[in-house]
Structure 1
Amino acid sequence: MLVALVATPRIRRLVKETMGGLPRQFWWLWVSTLVNKLGAFVVTFLSFYLTADRGYPASYAGLVASLFGLGSAISALGAGVLADRIGRRPTLVAAQLGTALSTAVLGFVNGPVAIAAVVFLVGLCNNATRPATSAIIADLVPAEDRVRAYSLNYWAINIGFGLSAAVAGLIATQGYLTLFLLDALSTLVCAVVIFLKIPETRPAQPPATAQGAAGPAVGLGTVFRDGPFMTVVGLNLLLALIFQQSSTTLPVAMGGAGLSATQYGLVIGLNGVLIVVLQIPLTRWMEGRSRTGLLIASCLLAGWGFGLGALAGSAAWLFALSVAVWTVGEVLNAPTMMGLVAELAPTHARGRYQGVYSLSWSLASFIGPGVGGVVLQYAGPGVLWSVCGVCGTVAALGHVALGRRTRRAGARAVAEAAVTEAAVIEVAAPGMAAPGAAPAPAGGKAPAGA
């Protein structure tokens, strides 16, 4: 049925319009992301592995997931700085190699302390890929196409995630070690693709004669003092705390209701499947619509989509309905938010800005599992899912108040980026395309710096 739907002329035209006009290097990044997520089993099934297979309590599973988040939080800032200093490509490849090694080791370690320590390392390496990947997209893709590019990259993530989650539940019945090793292998393949096919994209620093036009250097302190941007980060943290429950407390709650790992895999796999189906049509629908309105709607759908879990009990189909609702919110939110972050970031500080934005997700993965696990264990699932609804509402109200400020700040950042890139082009080589400029026609040169 899905194949027949995709085969219709209208859908084919929609796909062609959405995917056309992006640089070749972007598509290699897209392929590497897809390969990586096809084998991304460990994070999704970590809580189930610790509680159902190893017999640890929900509180320990939450603690370990929080350590994963702590590692992610530390690497978010460090990887953002490295992406700006030594380059996107070496940062990304090193992070993927570290993730592959630590994931494989996790499948063999025993004991609560050893497991917790290795999970921390997995989080440290795994999240170091985010700032570099987001910065590469911002470097390669013109501003007017970035939301579409981020949307397509997110589409790749969820094609892989949807397939891997559904299959992983079946593989887990034969033993979890296979999941760990397949995850490590897919990450290694991803690192090879990046190394071979994606050159460095970091914008070249303009010579001294252009320093005045390019603007002052941007450090982490500058990022943290950027009021509109940090408000965006804070609101995203609130939303990320909600989404974090999908891979931590949701499997524990479903397991406590008598549902199996296979049922959880199918339910959570629906998230990826729906994103695969909805991402392209919704991306086209989002074009030209109010960014603030999209963010408000996404927060409400995410919060109260999880809130539906309070009604689920032991009914797998109600959990599936909950996933369907918050998935629509996710589809609306992810590319819109990533495009906003890229717009607010100065050209030569994209890694740092993406790192601080990634920090909101990392802090959520550190705080969310522990708090969610405690609420689930002592107050019950009804309270947990209701709190998610309240958090989504608060985030939506925050975007109501923030909308005008981010529009002004975004317009200023885009103008500054144009000045910076123009200075680099003029001094380096007349006629040379700058990173983030429109790609050359088919058969021409790739964007400069790529």
Structure 2
Amino acid sequence: MGWGLVRGGTRLPRAVRLLVVARAVNRLGAFSLSFLTVLITTRFGAGAAVAGCVSAAFGVATIPSRLAGGRLADRIGRRRTIVLGLTGCAVAQLGLAAADSLATAACWAVLLGLVFEIYEPPSQGLIADVVAPGEQVRAHGLLNAALAAAGMGAGLLAAGVGRWDLRLLFVVDAFTCLLCALAVRLFLPADRRVAAAATDQASSVAPWRDAALLRMLAAGTLLAVIYLQIMIMLPLTLDHGGLRPSDAGLLFTTSAVTITAGQPLMRWRRLAALSAPAAFTAGHLLLALGLAGYGFAHGLLAYLTSTVVWSAGDLLLVGRAYTIVASLAPAGGKGRYLAVYGTSWGIAGVAAPLAGTQLLEHAGPAGLWSAMALACLLLAALQPALLRATALPRTHHERRPAAAELSDGSTR
């Protein structure tokens, strides 16, 4: 049986469905980073600024991690790279859980950053390889829905386990990383040997010289800063307002429920027919409204309502940027292009904790979340123009076929 696209849009390729299941297993424990700053402040007695610096160091380390993941994905294959990255994450998570000093915890946080993003470019590259461009938003939507469904259990698990000991969150995260790595190794199609000609072609890819990609990277970095504020600053915001930081797990679960329940709505003709500029604009406006609600929330119910609103915006945004970036890449270069775009999360990982902790300390929750809402409004205004510029004719590389095939007979 081939691993190519099932025609007619009725069913996604088996490789994508298996990847979705494996990543969902990993997502069940992928909540620990949201509590890294809280762990630093509560276990080691550090201030918010120190915790922000540790998170920023983690963010710096994810930049070479993402680039290495893209290069490895194009050279040694998607499956090997995913397994390598997940195994490294598990080791580093266990190191953080066992750390007995602030310096040791900071070192493990940096090491975690160096492996944390390795599996992302091959995961996204696999979808781009086997799914036609017209189906890629749907494929990313399926992945996001599965991660959100798993996130329901993750949020509840975080809320429960976090009340005992925050270090246990990192242990559970490590365990699910290993489970995901095992599932990928056993069930995803084997990597094919890369021909010398393909290796030479991949080596000639120059994503940092592609103006269209760099424009996408700029917008993606701002959006990543916004998302990371939710991950990193929401527990601290709750603590600032007299609520339990672990209640962030309930909010993440609410987001997951919203995203999962909203997936069928995305099949409605009007929503499915939205152009990319319209979807980006509407999504960013909903994000702005929800995050503005965080700034003036007093009580858990208000936080829950705001979470539902911004999560509805996330539904409209997921997967669209990665589909556009994959379409920009030359043959043999999707992993590198997706990796360069993915460095937006590393850059944001540096900026978000530094800016977020300073905003929270000097402007309070209202100032922090109002600033994020304004950033969303900026993206809503600029994204259509950016997409029009990205769609201009491109002559610097040869276009690759709409979807590639992965074969059962790949060499192991």
Instruction: Map residues 18-417 of structure 1 onto 2, 5 A cutoff.
Output: 20-200=10-190, 205=195, 217=202, 219=204, 222-282=206-266, 286-312=271-297, 314-408=298-392, 416-417=399-400
In 2 relative to 1, CA 326–193 (structure 1 residues): closer, same or farther, beyond 3 Å? Answer: same
- Matches of 2:46 and 2:54, distance apart in 1: 11
- Asked if 2 retains the 8 angstrom alpha-carbon contact of 1:203 and 1:347, the reply is no
- Residues matched between the structures, number: 405
- Asked if 2 retains the 8 angstrom alpha-carbon contact of 1:148 and 1:283, the reply is no
- Alpha-carbon shift at residue 49 of structure 1 (Å): 2.5
Which string of whole-angstrom CA distances, capped at 9 and with x for unpartnered residues, describes residues 208-253 of structure 1?
Answer: 9xx9xxx965646x21111112101100111111111112112111
Q: Identical aligned pairs, as a percentage? A: 29
Which string of whole-angstrom CA distances, capped at 9 and with x for unpartnered residues, describes residues 36-91 of structure 1?
Answer: 00111311222333334443322122222212211111211121111112221211
Which string of whole-angstrom CA distances, capped at 9 and with x for unpartnered residues, describes residues 239-283 of structure 1?
Answer: 111111112112111101100134222122211111111134225
Which string of whole-angstrom CA distances, capped at 9 and with x for unpartnered residues, describes residues 315-357 of structure 1?
Answer: 2122122211211121211211121122222231011011011
Instruction: Find the counterpart in structure 1 of residue 4 from structure 2.
Output: none
- Alpha-carbon shift at residue 290 of structure 1 (Å): 0.5
SS at match of 1:39: coil
Compare 243-252 and 158-167 and name the one that shifted more: 158-167
- Matches of 1:146 and 1:203, distance apart in 2: 25
Gapped regions of structure 2 (runs ≥ 5): 1-6
In 2 relative to 1, CA 288–360 (structure 1 residues): closer, same or farther, beyond 3 Å? Answer: same
- Asked if 2 retains the 8 angstrom alpha-carbon contact of 1:343 and 1:413, the reply is no
- Alpha-carbon shift at residue 152 of structure 1 (Å): 0.7
Letter in 2 for 1:43: L
In 2 relative to 1, CA 447–370 (structure 1 residues): closer, same or farther, beyond 3 Å? Answer: farther
- Alpha-carbon shift at residue 200 of structure 1 (Å): 3.9
- Matches of 1:218 and 1:305, distance apart in 2: 43
- Matches of 1:21 and 1:284, distance apart in 2: 18
Compare 275-284 and 113-122 and name the one that shifted more: 275-284
TM-score by length of 1: 0.83
- Alpha-carbon shift at residue 155 of structure 1 (Å): 1.4
In 2 relative to 1, CA 326–447 (structure 1 residues): closer, same or farther, beyond 3 Å? Answer: farther
In 2 relative to 1, CA 308–218 (structure 1 residues): closer, same or farther, beyond 3 Å? Answer: farther
Instruction: Find the counterpart in structure 1 of residue 404 from structure 2.
Output: 436
In 2 relative to 1, CA 64–219 (structure 1 residues): closer, same or farther, beyond 3 Å? Answer: farther
SS at match of 2:263: helix
- Alpha-carbon shift at residue 189 of structure 1 (Å): 0.8
Question: What is the CA RMSD across the aligned residues, in angstroms?
Answer: 2.7
In 2 relative to 1, CA 228–73 (structure 1 residues): closer, same or farther, beyond 3 Å? Answer: same
SS at match of 2:156: helix
- Matches of 2:37 and 2:351, distance apart in 1: 15
- Matches of 2:409 and 2:329, distance apart in 1: 20
Which string of whole-angstrom CA distances, capped at 9 and with x for unpartnered residues, describes residues 342-376 of structure 1?
Answer: 22222310110110111001211121111111111
Compare 354-363 and 328-337 and name the one that shifted more: 328-337
In 2 relative to 1, CA 164–93 (structure 1 residues): closer, same or farther, beyond 3 Å? Answer: same
In 2 relative to 1, CA 207–52 (structure 1 residues): closer, same or farther, beyond 3 Å? Answer: closer
- Matches of 2:137 and 2:186, distance apart in 1: 26
- Alpha-carbon shift at residue 379 of structure 1 (Å): 2.0
SS at match of 1:348: coil
Letter in 2 for 1:274: T
- Asked if 1 retains the 8 angstrom alpha-carbon contact of 2:44 and 2:101, the reply is no
- Alpha-carbon shift at residue 139 of structure 1 (Å): 1.1
SS at match of 1:248: helix
- Asked if 2 retains the 8 angstrom alpha-carbon contact of 1:436 and 1:447, the reply is no
TM-score by length of 2: 0.90
- Alpha-carbon shift at residue 287 of structure 1 (Å): 2.5
